Amino acid sequence: MKQSSILIVDDEPDILTMIRTALELEGFETALAGDGEMALERVRNRPPDVVLLDIMMPMLDGWAVIEALAEQRRRPGLIVVSAKARAPDMVRAFRMGADAYVTKPFDFDALTSTIREVLARPERDRARYREVMLERLEERAAEL
């Protein structure tokens, strides 16, 4: 059975190493990128199944990467993994095309189950899921 490939994008080396170790133990194939430009280059060279993307990075930040990936005809699943936990950032990420949003610090089990969910979700369902998430977030923002 083909291993699912995950591209981990973060400028923090400890986070890269930690996530790589955890995902390889779960049977995923991993690749790393330390900034946005490197991430796009690795996606171009060998498109992964899922990208775990940090937002706060030097050079090209996560928002620019999401924007660039959204222009691709067949883009990988996109999970934003960020310390930004405010609803406006989450809304922005889903609007730009993120398939899931995990806030730091995160639980590895939760991260791997989110990855599996995104992998299992057919591409045509992703847009619908994003709409649902956006509705929920906006409702929550309105409540607050």
Q: Give the residues across from 5 on adjacent strands.
A: 29
78 binds other proteins (CB under 8 A): no
The H-assigned helical ranges of 4-122 are 13-25, 36-45, 62-70, 87-96, 108-120
Q: How many residues bind other proteins (CB under 8 A)?
A: 28
Q: Which is nearer to other proteins, 54 or 99 (CB)?
A: 54
Please state whether the peptide bond connecting residue 58 to the residue before it is cis, i.e. omega within 30 degrees of 0: no
Residues 116 and 102: their CA atoms lie apart, in Å, by 13
Q: Which is nearer to other proteins, 14 or 107 (CB)?
A: 14
Pick one of 13, 25, 127, 136: the residue that binds other proteins (CB under 8 A). 13
Question: What Rg do the C-alpha atoms of the chain give, in angstroms?
Answer: 14
Question: Which helix (H) or strand (E) segment is 132 a member of?
Answer: helix 123-143
Pick one of 27, 46, 70, 132: the residue that binds other proteins (CB under 8 A). 46
Q: Write the single-letter amino acid at 123.
A: E
Interface positions, 16-45, toward other proteins (CB under 8 A)? 16-17, 20, 30-35, 37-38, 41-42, 45
Candidates 55-63, 71-79, 108-116, 132-140: pick the segment binding other proteins (CB under 8 A). 55-63
Residue numbers at the binding site for other proteins (CB under 8 A): 10-13, 16-17, 20, 30-35, 37-38, 41-42, 45-46, 55-62, 84
